Amino acid sequence: MKKKNFILLIFSLLFLSGRIIWSAETEMTIEKRFLNLPVSKSSDLKTMKLVVNGTAEQEFTIRLAKDVPDYWVFIDVSAYKGKKVKLVVDDATANLSRIYQEDVIAGQDSLYRESKRPQFHFTPKRGWNNDPNGLVYYGGEYHLFFQHNPYDVLWGNMHWGHAVSKDLLHWTEIGEALYPDNLGTMFSGSGAVDINNTAGLQKGPEKTMVVFYTAAGGTSDISKDKPFSQCMAYSNDKGRTWIKYSGNPVLPNVVAENRDPKVFWHQPTNKWVLVVYEKDGHSIYTSPNLKNWQRESHIANFFECPEFFELPVDGNAKNTRWVMYGASGTYMIGSFDGKTFTPESTKKLYTTGALYAAQTFNDIPASDGRRIQIGWGRISQPGMPFGQMMLFPTELTLKTTPDGIRLFSNPVREIELLKKNEQKWDVLTIQEANEKLGQYGPGELLRIKAKIVLEDFWAGLDLGGNTILKYDANFNLINEIPYFTDNPASMELSMELLIDRTSVEVFIDGGKYSYSLERKPAQNAKGLVFTGNPGLKVQSLEIQTLNSIW
């Protein structure tokens, strides 16, 4: 027999007898809170199982480092204390010897002090985030859940990460709320408090918190043959532990990839309303008890992540409108009778740029009454052990403009609490204003308010040599996007800027239009400068330095 055939024969015999090892594994008794795992960006994605008593409790993909890791990720294993846990990865050459247990995560000492960590925006300790999910206020806490890949700085393994805050500024990340299961990985959704216990799930004194999410069937090995469906989970302990409802899915698949349920209580009809993305738009369902849902209507021309809420116009509670938007933020204003949304205007745009899939909080107390939004900031974080970020929370309002009612967005007032110091000037030349800006070096952790008057048809602001604002008053464009001031004969523009380490958010003319972008690394520490042809006047300039939230 030829050597090649002989090797093939041995190989086949070993394979048939199940002796070839395709995977690597390690076993340990859990004594500490975390398992720390080394990750390398250049390793291939492999599937890892965490097996307890013969059952795969968790299954996810990971790029385990073979030698020097780029960063470390962690799994909270406190639930398995005292138990034997086996880690199995489908790569016989994997190096599992560096995985270790500890009561702190690897890198705890430098956590939130990494060189490019945003300093007044939420980012996860480790891993990728995209959409904010389940935004809800309960018992003095704002809950921010988020699409989370705990094991990579890229998208995948969708879990719901979870953080809480008392002031919308300082966030405490408290760990994963929802883990993938055999119905799918955990795609986007919303949260609410079942104040009247309509679902009958309340046990004890705390109201039941509910979250609605999409189980994205087919996005993992264990959910291979399942379709997308809408599911519910609930908590009886202020959101610290989450129980998946035994009757899931509460809304079986309707069309492929229907997803992102937004749920809220509609007082006038005494019903729950659920808006979900289906095919070419958003469908509205109602329910008396969160468990049985009836399809009521559908509105086309929205993609992903529905939002739907009522707002007073110009602060007048007797004159309200409903606002519907999708992940892009383009919105319609109209009315809602509890079943059907009827738009009364064309589709509008209030924000562009990095923001995507923004959601607003449910159950903000009536005494506060604000509609507060958080958006995913599609901003990369090179070299960091996390990817992306959340944008700064904004308050949404409806205001009458010469063109009709429009949605405005402004940073929440809590931002005042971050103020470190502040300087204000009136009526400056462009040279004087640039001198003032120059005192702030490369321009980080700043809040700037300015009102400029153009001396010709374009003016703007650069940061580190990159354009962050260019207003063309002749073609009516801000950074190439159409923008019209309320007074058509005005050469004025006002702006508010929030500048963190990797992001810039810009709010124009009191929030009539806003946008967000990546803050590129400063070139030669050029900092901030007003630009204009031939120049501009700065009517007023206010610069605040901000404290870190960490």
Dist. CA 292–CA 65, nearest whole Å: 47
- Nearest 10 degrees: CA dihedral of 363, 366, 368, 374? 30
CA-to-CA distance for 418 and 530, rounded, in angstroms? 25
Q: Are 211 and 263 in contact (CB under 8 A)?
A: no
Q: Tell me if residue 194 is catalytic.
A: no
Q: Are 397 and 507 in contact (CB under 8 A)?
A: no
Helix/strand/coil for 433: helix
145, 187, 285, 515: which one contacts ligand FRU (CB under 6 A)?
187
Q: For residue 287, state whether it binds ligand FRU (rule: CB under 6 A).
A: no
143 binds ligand FRU (CB under 6 A): no
Interacting positions 427-486 with ligand FRU (CB under 6 A): none
Nearest to 479 by CA among 353, 357, 290: 353
Q: Among 475, 473, 461, which Cα is nearest to 515's?
A: 461
When binding is defined by CB under 6 A, the residue of 131, 194, 307, 505 that contacts ligand FRU is 131
Residue 146 forms beta bridges with which residues? 132, 161
Using CB under 6 A as the binding rule, whether residue 135 contacts ligand FRU is answered as no
Q: Which of residues 310-339 bind ligand FRU (CB under 6 A)?
A: 327
* Shortest Å, Cβ 375 to ligand FRU: 11
The answer to the question of residue 147 lying near ligand FRU (CB under 6 A) is yes
| CA R_g for the chain | 26
For residues 204-263, which are near ligand FRU according to CB under 6 A?
Answer: 214, 259-260
If one asks whether residue 188 binds ligand FRU (CB under 6 A), the answer comes out as: yes
Q: Out of 144, 210, 357, 538, name the contact with ligand FRU by CB under 6 A.
A: 357
> Binding to ligand FRU by residue 414, rule CB under 6 A?
no
Q: Least distance from C-beta 277 to ligand FRU, angstroms?
A: 7
Look at the block and give the residue holding tokens 């599992």: 96
Establish if 304 lies at the interface with ligand FRU (CB under 6 A).
Answer: yes
User: In terms of CB distance, is 141 or 257 closer to ligand FRU?
Assistant: 257
Query: Which CB atom, from 374 or from 528, has the smaller least distance to ligand FRU?
Result: 374
Three-state SS for 515-535 is: EEEECCCCCCCCCEEEEEECC
Nearest distance from residue 279's CB to ligand FRU, in Å? 13
With CB under 6 A, what is the number of residues at the site for ligand FRU? 14
3-class secondary structure per residue, 202-235: CCCCCCEEEEEEEEECCCCHHHCCCCEEEEEEEE
Beta bridge partners of 234: 210, 243
Smallest separation, CB 232 to ligand FRU (Å): 16
Residue from 91, 131, 181, 509 carrying the catalytic annotation: 131
φ, ψ for residue 524, nearest 5 deg: 50, 35
Complex with ligand FRU: residue 305 or 469, whichever CB lies closer: 305
Output the smallest distance, CB 272 to ligand FRU, in A.
20
In the range 149-168, which residues lie near ligand FRU by CB under 6 A? 158
Closest CA to 463 of 531, 548, 384, 395: 531
- Among 130, 198, 229, 409, indicate the residue that binds ligand FRU (CB under 6 A): 130
Active-site positions?
131
In the complex, the residues that contact ligand FRU under the rule CB under 6 A are: 130-131, 147, 158, 187-188, 214, 259-260, 304-305, 327, 356-357
